[in-house]
Amino acid sequence: MAGIVACVLLSVVTVVNSQVQTAFLEYMQTRMGSLEERIAQWHDHSNRYSSELRDFKNQVLKMLENIEKERDTVRNEMENTNVRLDRLEREVDYLETQNPEPPCVDIDTKLTELHQQKKKKKEKYEKLTGCPKAELAENEEPDVQLSPPVNRKSYCSDTISQVNAMKILKRFGSNAGLWTKDPIGNSEKVYVFDGAGNDTVFVFSRMKEFTLSSSTRKVPRIKLPYPWIGTGHIVYGGNLFYIRQDEEFQVIKFNLTTKTIVDSAVLPIEQQVPVYGLSKFNYIDIVADEEGLWVIYATKENEKNICLAKLDPGNLGIEQMWDTPCPIENAESAFVVCGTLYVVYNTKLPSRSRIQCVFDVSGTISSEHVPIVYFPKRYGSHSSMKYNPKEKQIYAWDDGYQILYKLNMKPRDELY
Ligand SMILES: *[C@@H]1O[C@H](CO)[C@@H](O)[C@H](O)[C@H]1NC(C)=O
Ligand SMILES: *[C@@H]1O[C@H](CO)[C@@H](O)[C@H](O)[C@H]1NC(C)=O
Per the domain annotation, does 263 fall within a domain? yes
Average pLDDT, the chain: 83
Give residue-wise pLDDT tens across range 193-236: 999 999 999 999 999 999 998 888 889 999 999 999 999 999 99
How many other β-carbons are positioned within 10 Å of the β-carbon of residue 122?
A: 15
Last residue within a domain, chosen from 55, 78, 98: 98
381 and 311 belong to one structural domain: yes
Q: Which pLDDT does position 242 carry in this prediction?
A: 98
* Cβ(260) – ligand 2 distance below 6 Å: no
Per the domain annotation, does 123 fall within a domain? no
Closest CA to 244 of 252, 254, 236, 235: 252
- φ, ψ of residue 407 in degrees (nearest 5): -100, 145
Residue among 222, 239, 240, 255 to mutate when testing ligand 2 (max atoms within 8 A of CB): 255
309 and 404 belong to one structural domain: yes
Contact of 177 with 193, CB cutoff 8 Å: yes
Q: What residue's CA is closest to ligand 1, atom 9?
A: 198
* Cβ(239) – ligand 2 distance below 6 Å: yes
* Residue span of the structural domain in which 74 resides: 18-98
Q: Give the percent of the chain with pLDDT over 70.
A: 78
> How confident is residue 90, by pLDDT bands cut at 50, 70 and 90?
low
Per the domain annotation, does 232 fall within a domain? yes
341 and 253 belong to one structural domain: yes
Q: What residue's CA is closest to ligand 1, atom 8?
A: 198
Q: Which ligand is nearest to the CA of 229?
A: 1
Closest CA to 221 of 180, 177, 190, 186: 190
Give residue-wise pLDDT tens across range 18-63: 787 888 888 888 888 888 888 888 888 888 888 888 888 888 889 8
> How confident is residue 136, by pLDDT bands cut at 50, 70 and 90?
very low
Per the domain annotation, does 248 fall within a domain? yes
* Cβ(255) – ligand 2 distance below 6 Å: yes
Closest CA to 227 of 250, 245, 240: 245
75 and 186 belong to one structural domain: no
Per the domain annotation, does 13 fall within a domain? no
Last residue within a domain, chosen from 98, 119, 142: 98
For residue 160, pLDDT over 50 is answered with yes
Per the domain annotation, does 74 fall within a domain? yes
Residue 194 CA, ligand 2 centroid: distance in Å: 26
Residue 180 exposed, middle or buried by CB count within 10 Å (0-12, 13-18, 19+):
buried
Better pLDDT: 370 or 273:
273
* Cβ(198) – ligand 1 distance below 6 Å: yes
Q: What residue's CA is closest to ligand 1, atom 4?
A: 194
Contact of 397 with 179, CB cutoff 8 Å: yes
Q: Which pLDDT does position 129 carry in this prediction?
A: 47
Which atom of ligand 2 is the closest one to the Cα of 238? 13
Q: Give the percent of the chain with pLDDT over 90.
A: 51
For residue 13, pLDDT over 70 is answered with no
| CATH number reported for the structural domain that contains residue 391 in this entry | 2.40.128.630
Residue 261 CA, ligand 2 centroid: distance in Å: 11
3-class state of residue 344 by DSSP: strand
* Cβ(240) – ligand 2 distance below 6 Å: no
Query: Which of 84-93, 293-302, 310-319 is least confident?
Result: 84-93
Last residue within a domain, chosen from 98, 116, 132: 98
73 and 157 belong to one structural domain: no
- Single pTM value for the model: 0.66
Distance CA 203, CA 180 (A): 10
Distance CA 14, CA 16 (A): 5
For residue 283, pLDDT over 50 is answered with yes
> How confident is residue 86, by pLDDT bands cut at 50, 70 and 90?
low
Q: Which pLDDT does position 2 carry in this prediction?
A: 58
How many domains are contained in the chain? 2
First-to-last C-alpha distance (Å) of the chain: 123
For residue 379, pLDDT over 80 is answered with no
Residue among 174, 192, 198 to mutate when testing ligand 1 (max atoms within 8 A of CB): 198
Alpha helices in 185-260, H assignment, sequence order:
207-212
Better pLDDT: 396 or 150:
396
> How confident is residue 304, by pLDDT bands cut at 50, 70 and 90?
very high
For residue 93, pLDDT over 80 is answered with no
Per the domain annotation, does 3 fall within a domain? no
Q: Which ligand is nearest to the CA of 198?
A: 1
